[in-house]
A and B are shown apart, each in its own frame.
Chain A
Amino acid sequence: MTTDLTRRTAAELASSIASGEVSAVEVTQAHLDRIAKVDEKVHAFLHVDAEGALGAARAVDAKRAKGERLGPLAGVPLALKDLFTTRGLPTTCGSKILEGWLPPYDATVTRRLREADVVILGKSNMDEFAMGSSTENSAYGPTRNPWDLERIPGGSGGGSAAALASYESPLAIGTDTGGSIRQPGAVTGTVGVKPTYGGVSRYGMVAFSSSLDQGGPCARTVLDAALLHEVIAGHDPLDSTSIDAPVPGVVEAARAGVRDGIKGLRVGVVKQFAGEGYQAGVMQRFEESVALLRELGAEVVEVDCPSFDYALPAYYLIAPSECSSNLARFDAMRYGLRAGDDGNHSAEEVTALTREAGFGPEVKRRIMLGTYALSSGYYDAYYGQAQKVRTLITRDFDAAFGRVDVMVSPTTPTTAFKIGERADDPMAMYLADLCTIPTNLAGNAGMSLPCGLAPEDGLPVGLQILAPAMADDRLYRVGAALEAALLQQWGRPLLDAVPAL
């Protein structure tokens, strides 16, 4: 194990703390120091809670001193996406409209992390209200990709992914509405998982699109992601859409993937995710990974999911529709920004002025799209039609999963693009989520893990693995097996190639 605590995996840190080799305070302090040193350049964090983190670390050390049993991630630091409420700690969702808001309650994910003695370092940057694929839509400035500071770290969870790739944190939490965990994972060379919809509680996760949003783990290794997955997942009576069933055994699956391999596993390559718009180096690394899966004993077949072609347009009707309603509550009346309250404006005008000043252009664009799509007379043609596409996509998945155990594709068609490159072209930006969106629409599970660097630009490429709903364990089994094989090929973790900051 390396002596640099920030280079260790979460699993290693947990066992080092449990064995007493290092204290949780030392681990936390090492990461706070790293943040102090590099986050000025990366801007992964919107808010660092050094005091709270050290307090939590001290509590872990005290527990250990008393001989109490520690959880599997006790004392391990984590970056929490700023979409989750944290009692008494700023929660902005990357928006000016929530600047200064101190939530009076913890999200269920936050509570579970605290109960597991995970050390929350702070809140990570994101596209405003999780709307974006580059973190350029954060009202507090973009996060930069540690591989190349001129490039985007993906989005919306660019802060979480960049915190991992810059060694500011070994673990992070993201949320995935159309790819916001997986696409940042792909372009930063990290692992990100969108669990089955309903697998992780949405209580206290500020809603963008309620029927698509799903919180999930981000890490540098598949096993670390699995350990975090088991901490945050499970039924929550406060979320009616939370699944009341045992959490799939993802940690065991990750171990089994390395131990037992994937011989006989049926893998489907999605026909629709290739062709025009896909970067050559991305396709090359993807195809090499498929070949590697075959070498590992998997049976690879092509699967045809024709409805996936309509996923993007359906998504851009459903997500904005729900967001137009979810974001209506930001009206300056009870919390957050209030503009124009000078005695000369009516309540209605104050609401309008606040929303004008507090929301960024992408959020406004989606609120308007959604308001239009839900309008009477248009509902059937837009929202209604999109829901039908959703049903068709689910059927395509069902049919495919009748033939294969998992499906694979590139996570995103290209490697990290330059900051500003797609900022004025929403359609180009939306294409980044082309391969990830169908899974959100169908509610099943997906993972992105690094599968190499594109030869033409030396930037990370992500492989996406998709599994049926409540079969999240398959992601980990395949992911861990492939990760081990790739590691063997490379001789060192991909992230070791990240330039020094």
Chain B
Amino acid sequence: MTATTEELMDLEEALARFDPVMGLEVHVELGTNTKMFCSCPTEFGAEPNTQVCPTCLGLPGALPVVNEIGVESAIRIGLALNCEIAEWCRFARKNYFYPDMPKNFQTSQYDEPIAYNGYLDVEVDGRTFRIEIERAHMEEDTGKSTHVGGATGRIHGADYSLVDYNRAGIPLIEIVTRPIEVPGHLSAAVARAYVAELRDLIVALGVSEARMERGQMRADVNLSLKPTGAKKLGTRSETKNVNSLRSIERAARFEIQRHAAVLASGGTIVQETRHFHEDKGTTTSGRVKEEAEDYRYFPEPDLVPIAPSREWVEQLRATLPELPGARRKRLAADWEISEFEMQSVVNAGALDLIEATVAAGADAASARKWWLGELARAANEQAVELAELPITPAHVARIVVLVAAGELSDKLARQVIEGVLAGEGDPDAVVAARGLKVVSDDGALLAAIDEAIAANPAVAEKIRGGNHAAAGVIIGAVMKATKGQADAAKVKELTLSRLA
């Protein structure tokens, strides 16, 4: 398939003329110790085809046995997403041929999902959007193909392909939303916020690390446009395996612009799957679904129905941890900040860091100031996540404590941070090595002040005459003489009393 350059419409124009409708299908790999239907380990990064057995290789005769922890995780996710939990449900076979699928059917769930009818609230721009969850169901992952040779890295045109079945049979939960209709200019951001919120929820539940860069969480973005105000849904495209939060936003925007261009020029959208290209932020056509893939679902005869008892479900509900939304509300109250301010904390990826910094002894305002200020800037400069900076909440808490005790000025504190980030050791080590200390010894300061007064007699006269603002010149000179280690407030106080 040759890649064609897609016509795009300007985003603002597109959103003025069309309303986007989105649907998100998110796959979460559960962090169970063993696979969904066999007892093979699930460790990430093992040598290819070392974590396999007759069942997950689909050898003739092998049979599946359901992993109880997988079911429990699915129920907990369902409960956290405010879903109803099925009293009785079954697995189903989804039949299609692909070399990395050992049985050429995926054991999944079809019309009887374990959890359904739920919702998740997400916040964007200070507004709350309720994303309705249609269903969350259990299934197994496929193996992983690597297509060697050829231009596209896809199976067509490859010289040969390698398949690693270590991933085959790892439990997946697929979470499907109902159509999401929000103001067009927010739709991409809402999509991103939903996946981010879902990720945080999954992590809080402890059922998966949900690391998108490892493929532990993957999103399909379904998108269609309809003319502004219209009721009837348009034809959708399904952009598969979008693997970062940023990409979700970009993929959604790209598809809005592409659909708009096609529709505006009188064309029709083809229902198809599309691939997202991280490097260019574009999507290209994958399989065209003209034969409307028929998966020939039927109940999996090798497994018995799952009927979670209500007692079990209630027990799981009672032991759910605090979920991200509730936690944000609690912390916002504790830290005395608004939900809007909390959102910038979350967006910066600073929530855990600030909480840990406060736990390590810092006050909330200072912790927030450093992480969202100096440290956010440093992370931005280095193009890394805040959490990836080589500084810990304990370090930041120590710096906050030193500033509060008057041993460091803000300016010195910034130097300490710079030192820690440069790998010079923990804050105390940097303070010691760089000799950073607020000069608060009155004698030393008075000597420096007297020197400055002597050097600036005219200024001294003004201050004596009541012009306190003129003290800045003296303070500046003192700071310069002490290499910035003096406490500016202290210098001002001493200067004014000297010239009173």
Contact = CB atoms under 8 A, between A and B. Distances in A.
Interface of A: 84-85, 91, 93, 98, 101, 103-105, 107, 202-207, 209-211, 237-241, 321-322, 324-325, 328-331, 333-335, 346-348, 351, 371, 374-376, 379, 383
Contacts of A107: 61
Interface string B291-319: 00010111001111000000000000000
A350 to B, nearest CB: 9
A349 to B, nearest CB: 12
Contacts of A104: 54, 59
A203 B156 contact: no
A238 B97 contact: no
A240 B298 contact: no
A85 B54 CA distance: 11
A210 B99 contact: no
Given A325-B105, A331-B97, A334-B102, A203 B301 contact: no
Interface stretch (B62-70, B122-130, B216-224, B481-489): B62-70
A85 B57 CA distance: 15
B60 A93 contact: yes
Tell me which of B95, B155, B301 has the highest count of chain A C-beta atoms within 10 A of its own C-beta.
B301
A241 B61 contact: no
10 contacts: A203-B63, A237-B65, A238-B63, A241-B304, A329-B102, A329-B103, A331-B104, A333-B163, A374-B298, A379-B298
Contacts of B62: 105, 203-204
Contacts of B161: 347
A contacts with B: majority SS = loop
Interface centre among A84, A91, A205, A334 (most CB of B within 10 A): A334
A325 B298 contact: yes
B93 interface: yes
A376 B296 contact: yes
Given A325-B93, A331-B97, 18 more contacts: A104-B59, A105-B62, A202-B63, A205-B61, A239-B63, A240-B64, A322-B298, A328-B97, A328-B104, A328-B105, A329-B103, A330-B60, A331-B99, A331-B104, A333-B163, A334-B57, A335-B60, A347-B155
Contacts of A371: 296
Contacts of B63: 202-203, 238-240
A193 to B, nearest CB: 21
Contact of A206 (B60, B105, B156): B60
B58 interface: yes
B50 to A, nearest CB: 14
B495 to A, nearest CB: 83
B232 to A, nearest CB: 23
A347 B99 contact: yes
Contact of A240 (B57, B99, B294, B302): B302
Interface in B76-122: 93, 95, 97, 99, 102-105
Per DSSP, chain B at the interface is loop
B377 to A, nearest CB: 51
Contacts of B304: 240-241
A335 B62 CA distance: 14
Given A321-B298, A351-B97, A240 B65 contact: yes
Interface string B269-298: 000000000000000000000000010111
B301 A211 contact: yes
Contacts of B61: 84-85, 91, 103, 107, 203-207
B63 to A, nearest CB: 5
Given A210-B302, A240-B304, A347-B155, A329 B65 contact: no
Interface of B: 54, 57-66, 93, 95, 97, 99, 102-105, 155-156, 161, 163, 294, 296-298, 301-304
Nearest to A334: B57
Listed residue (B99, B155, B304) with the most chain A CB atoms within 10 angstroms of its CB: B99
B95 A333 contact: no
Contact of B301 (A101, A210, A324, A376): A210
A321 B153 CA distance: 35
A334 B99 CA distance: 9
Contacts of B66: 240
A322 B60 contact: no
Contacts of A239: 63, 65
Nearest to A352: B97
A238 B294 CA distance: 31
Nearest to A239: B63
Nearest to B38: A238
Contacts of B163: 333
A335 B303 contact: no
B95 A374 contact: yes
Interface centre among A84, A211, A240 (most CB of B within 10 A): A240
Nearest to B96: A328
A329 B102 CA distance: 6
Most buried by A among B63, B64, B161: B63
A348 B97 contact: yes
B271 to A, nearest CB: 16
Contacts of A202: 63
B152 to A, nearest CB: 14
A251 to B, nearest CB: 28
Nearest to A101: B60
B97 to A, nearest CB: 6
A324 B103 CA distance: 11
Contact of A346 (B156, B296, B298): B156
A351 B161 CA distance: 14
A160 to B, nearest CB: 17
Contacts of B54: 103-105, 204
Contacts of A211: 301
A126 to B, nearest CB: 14
A325 B101 CA distance: 13
Contacts of A101: 60
A101 B60 CA distance: 10
Closest 7 CB pairs of A and B: A328-B104, A374-B296, A210-B301, A211-B301, A204-B61, A206-B60, A206-B61
A107 to B, nearest CB: 6
A408 B142 CA distance: 48
Contacts of A207: 60-61, 302
A103 B59 CA distance: 8
A351 B303 CA distance: 27
A252 B298 CA distance: 41
A374 B96 CA distance: 13
